[in-house]
Amino acid sequence: DAKTTQPNSMESNEEEPVHLPCNHSTISGTDYIHWYRQLPSQGPEYVIHGLTSNVNNRMASLAIAEDRKSSTLILHRATLRDAAVYYCILRDRNRDDKIIFGKGTRLHILP
Amino acid sequence: SQTIHQWPATLVQPVGSPLSLECTVEGTSNPNLYWYRQAAGRGLQLLFYSVGIGQISSEVPQNLSASRPQDRQFILSSKKLLLSDSGFYLCAWNLGANEQFFGPGTRLTVL
């Protein structure tokens, strides 16, 4: 299975943009890049996913490198409520793959 | 719209007692169903997943078991709880390789 690598933790100031990196050098052509986040004492929630093109939704943006070996989740204006663990996960679009969560990046937001 | 329910929300059980956690999904048919556990301060560990009624795959050896008696019902059980079974148990569902939805979780403390 293709793996992802993320920093253990990051800090950002409130109301500033946050760029969360993810490396996935062994990604295959049929892997979607998914992002989830887990707020304290809650289950994970879906954030965004993409294949090749950059994606935007109400929560975040996903920037995917041209070679697809890395991606960046962008929170345009961080709030204290964005403090969470963010997980970058690869999912093969042709298979009913189970999601295996790595350690993710713990994002701290400074007021 | 789809909804996922888990109960109970919290549970305190003595070592050696049995366990039954229930998860039900509404608003979808033939979902893939998952049980995850998160020990205190640790990552999410996939325990079981099911692609259909009566079909259960176990990810890790343990004293827990899972059953899927109905299409949208997933049950996690144990005959005798261990201290190490304490944790935050999350049920989840998806349809194929799409977004995965998590339930509110059950926080289990084994004393």
Output the tens digit of pLDDT for each of chain B's 111 residues.
779 999 999 999 999 999 999 999 999 999 999 999 999 888 899 999 999 999 999 988 789 999 999 999 999 999 999 999 999 999 999 987 678 999 999 999 999
Task: List the single residue in A with minimal CA-CA distance to B103.
Answer: A43
- CA nearest neighbour of A24 among A59, A54, A51, A53: A51
Given CA atoms A40, A46, A52, A58 in this order, what sign does their dihedral have? negative
Nearest C-alpha of chain B: how many angstroms from A19?
A: 22
- Alpha carbon distance B5, B39 (integer Å): 21
How does pLDDT run across A44-69, given as a tens digit for each residue?
A: 999 999 999 999 999 999 999 999 99
Nearest to A97 among B90, B97, B105 (CB): B97
Nearest to B105 among A34, A43, A101 (CB): A43
Partner-chain contact A43 B90, CB within 8 Å: yes
**Set of chain B residues whose Cβ sits within 8 Å of the Cβ of A101:** 36, 43-44, 46
How does pLDDT run across A64-93, given as a tens digit for each residue?
A: 999 999 999 999 999 999 999 999 999 887
Distance of CA A94 to the CA centre of its chain: 21
